[in-house]
Amino acid sequence: MAHRRVAVLISGRGSNLQALIDAALDPGYPAEIVNVISNEPAAAGLERARKAGLATEIVNHRNFADRAAFDAALDARLRAAGADLVCLAGFMRLLTPGFVAGWRDRMLNIHPSLLPAFPGLDTHARALAAGVRFAGCTVHFVRPTMDDGPIIAQAAVPVLPHDTADSLAARVLEAEHRLYPWALRLAATGRATVVGERVVVDGAKVAAGALINPPPD
Ligand code: GRF
């Protein structure tokens, strides 16, 4: 199957973008990154993209009258780049329902929690406050509600007794970097399809066994 053309939208550091860049270096990977777009001119992720020789664009939301105008500009760039799929990777803008509808089941997001728990900001602090024993991350198809939509794949990590929001975030981030390339692979090959607002993964191995935290003595 031909490589799917992927655009990545970022706002900052771009470590998930980097994980996608690294995955796509493998000629056997089913997606190629055709454009990296940032709404923040100073996003460090732009430098990662340039180093990898990728096309970059800045669409600064401050230059637009409202969300609809910003989203229209974004949409035009994505269409011009010939994107088949869009990956949100630390993209910190809410998107309008019209824009989201135009990329239905073709736009992915990564969120650092086991959705539907802890959507939005400060996820790690809220997970710690709730006393959960597992945290993790989710890649899902985007719907208009923030951090909502059919789940493609999740990774779970244990919460440890002396975790801070930062130490937990670092553990989850490592998992994100493994999860996003895998989830994008599933979407790009057409193995992940949305059926009745849930994702069916064709030919998926079966995960087995319970993880218990704290582990039994
Ligand atoms: C990640 O934790 C991602 O899940 C969240 O924002 C963070 C972005 O980090 N949506 P990076 O820019 O990919 O390094």
Per-residue pLDDT of the chain (217 residues; tens, 9 = 90+): 579 999 999 999 999 999 999 999 999 999 999 999 999 999 999 999 999 999 999 999 999 999 999 999 999 999 999 999 999 999 999 999 999 999 999 999 999 999 999 999 999 999 999 999 999 999 999 999 999 999 999 999 999 999 999 999 999 999 999 999 999 999 999 999 999 999 999 999 999 999 999 999 9
Q: What is the pLDDT of residues 86-113, one digit of tens each?
A: 999 999 999 999 999 999 999 999 999 9
Q: Return the best residue to mutate from 36, 92, 110 for the ligand 1 pocket (most ligand atoms within 8 A of CB).
A: 110
- Judge if 1-103 and 111-217 fold alike in CATH terms: yes
Nearest to 184 by CA among 17, 14, 38, 10: 17
Residues 6+ apart with CB under 8 A from 112: 123, 124, 135, 136, 137, 169, 172, 173, 176
CATH architecture of 1-103: 3-Layer(aba) Sandwich (3.40)
Ligand 1 centroid distance, CA of 162 (Å): 23
Residue of minimum CA distance from atom 9 in ligand 1: 90
Ligand 1 centroid distance, CA of 216 (Å): 33
Superfamily of structural domain 111-217: Formyl transferase, N-terminal domain (3.40.50.170)
Contact 119, 94 (CB under 8 A): no
21 alpha carbon, distance to own chain's centre? 13
Q: DSSP for the chain, please give it.
A: -PPEEEEEEESS--HHHHHHHHHHTSTTSSEEEEEEEESSTT-HHHHHHHHTT--EEE--GGGSSSHHHHHHHHHHHHHHTT-SEEEESS------HHHHHHTTTTEEEEESSSTTSS-SS-HHHHHHHHT-SEEEEEEEE--SSTT-S-EEEEEEEEPPTT--HHHHHHHHHHHHHHHHHHHHHHHHTT-EEEETTEEEETTPPPP-S---SSPP-
Which residues contact ligand 1 via a Cβ below 6 A? 12-17, 45, 89-90, 110-112, 173, 176
Active site residue ranges: 111
Q: What is the pLDDT of residues 26-58, one digit of tens each?
A: 999 999 999 999 999 999 999 999 999 999 999
Global pTM reads: 0.98
Task: Report the distance separating Cα 127 and Cα 81, nearest Å.
Answer: 38
Ordered by start, the domain boundaries in the chain are: 1-103, 111-217
- Supply the pLDDT for residue 1: 59
Ligand 1 centroid distance, CA of 31 (Å): 20
- Supply the pLDDT for residue 2: 75
Q: Return the best residue to mutate from 9, 10, 16 for the ligand 1 pocket (most ligand atoms within 8 A of CB).
A: 16
